[in-house]
Amino acid sequence: MNIFEAFIFGILQGIAEFLPISSSGHLLLAKRWFGLEEVPLIFDLALHVATLGAVILVFHKIIVRLIQVLFRWILRKSLPNDREDLIYIAVIVIATVVTAALGILIKDIELSHKMVYMGFLYTAVILIIGSRVTQKYKDESSVLSSGLVAKKFWGIPLTGMIIGVFQGFAILPGISRSGSTISAALFCGVRRDRAGEISFLLSIPTILGGFLLTLHEGQAESLSSQVPWMPLLVAVISAFFAGCIALMFLLRLIREMKLHYFALYLIPLSLLGILGILP
């Protein structure tokens, strides 16, 4: 992989990891378009680290606050206004567990390239529906206490389970993780800004889990294979900065209820692929 290809892959990873267009689907297509049969394992791991760093940088204040709330709860010193953040944490934990369980079942499913394009179309549909659902919730004072958020199944917050299922299926290439989780949160009545935060905070255990799984499944010789340091560095830097920009850009679009704009890109792309016009 040369420097230009590394730059393109880094930009794609950074943008598509967070924008609701599916990073896995776009990276698969990019490999095919560039004629790359396999990306070095160390390269894949480095891109995971770069996008994880972008999330932590953009959301560091919220992450610190949630950690403080969690420690107060563990020490039984919770404050009255910690309740909302505790629900927030519970939703994230439950969604992560459900995603992991579902991911184990479907991670080995192999899809044709046309199925990837169908994943793009599915993502476009849920983005449009999510934007329409958002307009029905007029009370912006409620954050995590409206709609399905307050309901439980066997004592478990239903919102976390629903978001986890949506995120679990987003393991399939072509289905956007961020688009799925944001839309699922909106379906449940979560406020727009919180839906975005939940989605991106959920990406931390998801990206970290993907990193550890890739590391576990990778062969030692694959990790130690010689990869030119310059393309690797270019990919990491471009993925990190593209990820930061994509995160801030998408948060603004979520607040403005413009998620459906991405469907204007995904629908033509998916149809061109399904019809065989794109490889």
* pLDDT, tens only, 174-223: 899 999 999 998 888 888 888 888 999 999 998 888 777 767 765 544 55
| Threshold 0.75, pTM exceeds | yes
153: β partners: 156
Mean pLDDT over all residues of the chain?
83
Backbone angles phi, psi at 109, to 5 degrees: -70, 130
CB atoms closer than 10 angstroms to residue 57 = 13
66-117 tens-digit pLDDT: 999 999 999 999 998 888 888 889 889 999 999 999 988 887 777 677 888 9
Number of H helices, E strands in the chain: 12, 2
152: β partners: 157
Instruction: Note whether 231 and 40 are within 8 A (CB).
Output: no
Measured between its terminal Cα atoms, the distance across the chain in Å is 21
Measured CA to CA, the distance from residue 68 to residue 193 in angstroms comes to 21
The segment with the largest mean pLDDT, out of 7-21, 71-85, 236-250, is 236-250
**157 three-class SS:** strand
For residue 3, count CB atoms less than 10 angstroms from its CB and return exposed for 0-12, middle for 13-18, buried for 19 or more: middle
Instruction: Note whether 237 and 216 are within 8 A (CB).
Output: no
Higher pLDDT, 265 or 23: 265
Considering only CA atoms, give the Rg of the chain. Answer: 19
245-276 tens-digit pLDDT: 999 999 988 888 888 899 999 999 999 999 98
**226 three-class SS:** coil
Q: Quick one: tokens of 196?
A: 């975005």
Instruction: Note whether 138 and 189 are within 8 A (CB).
Output: no
Confidence tier at 152 by pLDDT (50, 70, 90): low
- Residue 36's pLDDT is what? 67
Give the domain ranges of the chain. Answer: 3-274
